[in-house]
Chain A
C-alpha cells in the first residue's frame, strides 16, 4: 500500500512539473483575450442572418474558429495565435497565415476589437464574449472534411 502511495505522489509531482514547463514554452498570450467570442460587428454593421463567426482563444495559444460565411453550414478552422502588446497574429493548421491585427479588449473585458493592419481598406471586427453553442461546436473541420476533398461535390 505504501508503495502505491509513493507512486501516486510521484505521478502528481511529475504532472505539476511538466505543466509548469509547458506554460513556460507557450506563445505569448494576453489572458484578457482568452475565451469564447462571437463576431457582432464588422465595419460598423452586424452580420445579421448573412453570416456568423465564433472564435475560441485558448490560453495555450491555440484557437478554434467556427464560421458560417462562405458555406451553408459551420466550418471549423484551427491554428495558433499570439497576442502580445496590441498585436494579434497567427496561422491556421494548414500553414496559411491569418491577417495581422491590432487588438483591444474592452474595459469590462467583454468586447474584443480586431483592426486589420497593413491593408488599404478599413477592416474592424468587434467580438462579444459569448459561449459557443454546442451545435456550432459540432461543425466539421473545413480543412480536412471529406466533402471538401471531392471535386464534384462542391457544396
Chain B
C-alpha cells in the first residue's frame, strides 16, 4: 500500500506537470452568484479566451446570414447577427466566431441532421473573466448550452525508450512468424513465448494471439483507423505505405488535409514541434501518436523494423491510418479539438476511432455526468458511432476505442467509460494487470500495455513500436500505458473488419462489438496474491475488473467466420461452459438471461428452460434435434452501464444447440 500511495502521489505530480499553457485557474465559487444551468461544466482546466456555445434552432438562420455576409466581404467573423449577443461579443472583444464543425459541401446534410451545425466557438481576449463571459452568454435566449473548452490528456506514462537494435537472443528462436520484420522478435505483445530477456516473469500467451490470425489476413486497405492523438509521422519508413490519403482534400482545411488534419493547431499534421507550457517550461511532441499508429498498422513483411497488428502482409494490404491530431508540442488537448477530430474521422470513412486519451477530470462517475459536462464531445462520438452519419464502408457505424487510464483508479476514465465506447485496460508480459492500469466499472477488455519498470528486461517489457526519430533519436522504441494497450484492441478490431470484408461477411456494429469483447483469453485465474513491478499491487483487487479478458485476434476471426453449434448429449443434465461464445473468461461473466422459444423447448424435450448457473449453461434435452438459444452477458463488470451507473456493455449471442445421441466422440458427424 505504501508503494501504491507513493505511485499515486508521483502520478499526481506528473499529471500536474503536464498541464498545458493557457489554462484558466480553477474557479472559486462565488457565494453570491448563481451559475446558469445552461453552463454545462466548470472553468477548471479550461482554455482561456475560448467558449463553446450551442444555439437554438431559431437563432441559426441569423447566424448563417451573418456568416454569409462576412464571407462575402472576406472578413473574419466576429458577430452573430443577433443584437443581444453581439453586444456581449463587443464587451468580450470577440476576435472570431465560427462554427465548431466547418461547412463542407459533402457532409453538410449529415452535420445538420445530427444538429452539430448548432455548435459555435468564439475566441476573445484571454484576460476576460471566463466565468463572467459564460454567464453573459447563458443569459441570452438564443443560446441553449455554454461549454468551457476543457483539456484532454494522453493516457501514457510519459517516457519513450529508443530501441537499441538488440541482438535476437537464443530463446527468441521459439517465436514463429510468417513476416520478416526483424524486430518482431521483441514484440512480445504479439507473440509471447516467455522470453527471459523481456522479463523473468514473462508468460507464454500474454499476447494478442495474432500470429495465427495473420495466416488468414493481415488487414485490408478499405478499413480506416483514425488515430486521435499526436500527429502521426506519415513519412515514417514503416508507416508511410499504410497512411490514409484523402481522395478529396477539403477547402475547409485549405486542401491540406492529405493524411488527416491537425486540430490542435488548425493546420497540417506535425509530429516534432516544441512549445512552452504554462509554467514556462519547455515541452515537445513525444512520438505518442506515431507509436500508437505503429501498433495498429506498421507495415508488415517489409523487411524493416516492427510489425503492426493490421499492417498487411507486405502487399499494400494494411489497414489505413488517418491522423486526427489533437495534441501538439507536448501540450494537452481540448474538448473542442477532440470533438472536431472525431467528426472528421466519421465524415472521412474511419471505422475505428483509436483514442489513447482521456478527460483530465477523473472524477466522472456516470454517463449522465459525462454527457452533462462534455456535450460537444458526446455528440461527436454519437455521430461517429451512428450508421446514419459514419461513412465507413467496413461497418454500419464506427467503433470508438479508448484507453482506460493510467491512474490506477478503480473505474475507467472517460470517455472510455461511456457505455457505448470500449475501454481498454493494460497487462504486462507477465499476464497480469499493469501496475498503473485503471480497472473496474466502465472497463471492457484488456490488452498488453507493457511495463517499462520493474522487470528484468527493463524497457523491453514495454510495447515496441514506431517512434519519431527527430524526437527520440531513432525510428523505434518502447512505451508503456493503457495508451499502448488501446491500439492493440483497435488493431485487432481492424483485422476483424478486414477479414469480414474479404470473406464478404456482413456483421452489424452491435454483433461485431459482441464478437470483439468475447474474443478473449482468461485473466481471472491468474489474479491471486500480489505483484511487484512499478509498484506492488494486490491482484485480488482486479478480479472481475479488467473487462472480459485478454483480447485474442485469432478468436475474433473465427467468430466472424461463423458460430459453432453447441453439442448436447441426450438424456443427461449438462453444465456447459460457453467458452466458444463468450471467450476464455466465460465462467466468470455475469449473465443476463437465456432465451429460447417454447416450440424449441418442446422440440428437444427439455423438462425445464435452460438457464445460466455458476457461469455454465444448465440444460437437459431428451429428444434429438436443433434449437436456438440466445444468451446475454455483461462485457466488463457485474452490471450493464446506464445513465446513472458505470458498467459494462451488454452482449448477446445466439447459437444453435444440437441434441444428439449419435456421432463420434471425436466430434465427427458420422
Cα A22 to Cα B669 in complex, Å, equals: 29
Residues of A close to B656: CB separation below 8 A? 50-51
Q: A73-B562, A153-B554 are in contact. Are A98 and B580 (CB under 8 A)?
A: no
**Of B164-172, B230-238, B563-571, the one touching chain A:** B563-571
Min CB–CB distance A142 → chain B (angstroms): 7
A154's nearest neighbour on chain B, judged by CB, is B579
Residues of B close to A94: CB separation below 8 A? 666
Within 8 A of B (CB), among A46-82: 47, 50-51, 53, 55, 63, 65, 67-73, 75, 77
Q: A43-B625, A90-B670, A152-B521 are in contact. Are A98 and B664 (CB under 8 A)?
A: yes
Within 8 A of A (CB), among B159-217: 205, 209, 212
From B561, B566, B663, B667, contact of A72 by CB (8 A): B561
Residues of A close to B617: CB separation below 8 A? none
B626 within 8 A of A: yes
Cα A90 to Cα B558 in complex, Å, equals: 31
A119→B554 contact, CB < 8 A: no
Min CB–CB distance A141 → chain B (angstroms): 11
Cα A71 to Cα B521 in complex, Å, equals: 18
Min CB–CB distance B548 → chain A (angstroms): 15
Residues of B close to A53: CB separation below 8 A? 669
Cα A90 to Cα B670 in complex, Å, equals: 9
B348 within 8 A of A: no
From A42, A116, A143, contact of B666 by CB (8 A): A143
Interface size grouping (class) on chain A:
35 or more
A65→B669 contact, CB < 8 A: yes
B205's nearest neighbour on chain A, judged by CB, is A152
Within 8 A of A (CB), among B616-670: 623-626, 628, 656, 658, 660-670
Residues of B close to A143: CB separation below 8 A? 666
Cα A43 to Cα B659 in complex, Å, equals: 11
B442 within 8 A of A: no
Cα A99 to Cα B564 in complex, Å, equals: 22
Residues of A close to B667: CB separation below 8 A? 69-71, 75, 77, 142
A153→B209 contact, CB < 8 A: yes
Residues of B close to A7: CB separation below 8 A? none
A121→B626 contact, CB < 8 A: no
From A45, A73, A75, A114, contact of B626 by CB (8 A): A45
B111 within 8 A of A: no
If over half of A's interface residues share one DSSP class (helix, strand or loop), that class is named, otherwise mixed; here it is: loop
Q: A72-B561, A72-B563, A147-B212 are in contact. Are A92 and B661 (CB under 8 A)?
A: no
B559's nearest neighbour on chain A, judged by CB, is A72
Cα A67 to Cα B584 in complex, Å, equals: 24
Listed residue (B554, B658, B660, B670) with the most chain A CB atoms within 10 angstroms of its CB: B670
B555 within 8 A of A: yes
Within 8 A of B (CB), among A115-132: 116, 119-123
A39 within 8 A of B: yes
Residues of B close to A153: CB separation below 8 A? 209, 212, 552, 554-555
B663→A155 contact, CB < 8 A: no
A51→B670 contact, CB < 8 A: no
Min CB–CB distance B160 → chain A (angstroms): 32
Residues of A close to B665: CB separation below 8 A? 96
A65→B658 contact, CB < 8 A: no
Min CB–CB distance B534 → chain A (angstroms): 27
A97 within 8 A of B: yes
A39→B212 contact, CB < 8 A: no
Residues of B close to A69: CB separation below 8 A? 564-565, 567, 658, 667, 669
A99→B670 contact, CB < 8 A: yes
B564→A71 contact, CB < 8 A: yes
Min CB–CB distance A51 → chain B (angstroms): 5
Residues of A close to B209: CB separation below 8 A? 153
Cα A98 to Cα B668 in complex, Å, equals: 8
Listed residue (A43, A50, A99) with the most chain B CB atoms within 10 angstroms of its CB: A50
B559→A65 contact, CB < 8 A: no
A99→B580 contact, CB < 8 A: no
Min CB–CB distance A128 → chain B (angstroms): 15
Cα A90 to Cα B565 in complex, Å, equals: 25
B670→A155 contact, CB < 8 A: no
Min CB–CB distance B434 → chain A (angstroms): 21
Min CB–CB distance A61 → chain B (angstroms): 14
From A39, A63, A99, A155, contact of B554 by CB (8 A): A155
Within 8 A of B (CB), among A81-120: 90, 92, 94, 96-99, 101, 114, 116, 119-120
Min CB–CB distance B656 → chain A (angstroms): 4
A96→B668 contact, CB < 8 A: yes
Q: A43-B625, A69-B565, A71-B564 are in contact. Are A155 and B666 (CB under 8 A)?
A: no
Residues of B close to A68: CB separation below 8 A? 562
From B564, B624, B662, contact of A70 by CB (8 A): B564
Residues of A close to B660: CB separation below 8 A? 123
Residues of B close to A72: CB separation below 8 A? 558-559, 561-564
Cα A75 to Cα B666 in complex, Å, equals: 12
Cα A108 to Cα B462 in complex, Å, equals: 67
A119→B662 contact, CB < 8 A: yes
Cα A126 to Cα B508 in complex, Å, equals: 34
Residues of A close to B580: CB separation below 8 A? 154-155
A155→B664 contact, CB < 8 A: no
Residues of A close to B566: CB separation below 8 A? 70
Residues of B close to A123: CB separation below 8 A? 624, 660-662
A77→B625 contact, CB < 8 A: no
Within 8 A of A (CB), among B545-592: 552, 554-555, 558-559, 561-567, 570-571, 579-580, 584
Min CB–CB distance B345 → chain A (angstroms): 31
Residues of A close to B552: CB separation below 8 A? 153
B579's nearest neighbour on chain A, judged by CB, is A154
B669→A39 contact, CB < 8 A: yes
Min CB–CB distance B476 → chain A (angstroms): 29
Cα A76 to Cα B559 in complex, Å, equals: 19
Min CB–CB distance A89 → chain B (angstroms): 9
Min CB–CB distance A113 → chain B (angstroms): 14
Min CB–CB distance B658 → chain A (angstroms): 7
Q: A53-B669, A72-B561, A155-B554 are in contact. Are A99 and B624 (CB under 8 A)?
A: no
Q: A90-B670, A155-B555 are in contact. Are A120 and B664 (CB under 8 A)?
A: no
List 20 A-B pairs, Cβ < 8 Å.
A39-B669, A42-B626, A50-B656, A53-B669, A69-B564, A72-B564, A73-B562, A77-B667, A77-B668, A92-B664, A99-B662, A99-B663, A99-B664, A101-B670, A121-B624, A123-B624, A143-B666, A152-B205, A153-B212, A155-B559
Closest 4 CB pairs of A and B: A50-B656, A155-B558, A98-B670, A123-B662
User: 19 additional contacts, CB 8 Å, given A43-B624, A51-B658?
Assistant: A45-B625, A63-B670, A65-B669, A65-B670, A67-B669, A72-B562, A73-B562, A90-B670, A96-B668, A98-B664, A99-B663, A116-B662, A120-B661, A143-B666, A147-B212, A153-B209, A154-B555, A154-B584, A155-B559
Binding site for A on B (CB under 8 A): 205, 209, 212, 521, 552, 554-555, 558-559, 561-567, 570-571, 579-580, 584, 623-626, 628, 656, 658, 660-670
